[in-house]
Amino acid sequence: MLDPVSLGLNSRSKINVDDNECTDEIESIPPQLAMFTRALAVVEYLIANGSDRAVDDILECSSKIAAVSSFEYVEPNGKDLGINVRKKAETILGLGRHFR
């Protein structure tokens, strides 16, 4: 079974795009946004598949995850790229409430 990060990478690897277009897309993602997205994907995976201790440790840090749920990043053209981070954080907090 593939983890969420691998699934995303796997599906993106099947898309045929021009190399320059792909490079432009990767460079346009702000580092902070990419970091939050990757970290939250790992946290979500650990809650779903990790040990009880991993889940407990994550739940102890739920206030930090809650802080990320208000993350905002809006491109100059008005496109809200922070919504994926906020949704992922809310999903994780919901899973955490389920385990409590």
Residue 64 CB-density burial (10 A; 0-12 exposed, 13-18 middle, 19+ buried): exposed
Q: CA-CA distance, 25 to 33, in Å (whole number)?
A: 13
Determine the CATH number of domain 31-99.
Answer: 1.25.40.90
Instruction: Provide the residue ranges of all domains of the chain, joining segments of one domain with +.
Output: 31-99
Q: Please state which of the ranges 19-28, 34-43, 66-75 shows the lowest mean pLDDT.
A: 19-28
34-36-93 Cα angle (round to 5): 145
pTM over 0.85: no
Cβ atoms of 73 and 52 within 8 Å: the answer is no
Mean pLDDT along residues 65-75: 86
Nearest to 26 by CA among 9, 14, 2: 9
Mean pLDDT along residues 15-28: 46
Number of helices and strands in the chain (H, E): 6, 0
The whole-number pLDDT of residue 38 equals: 87
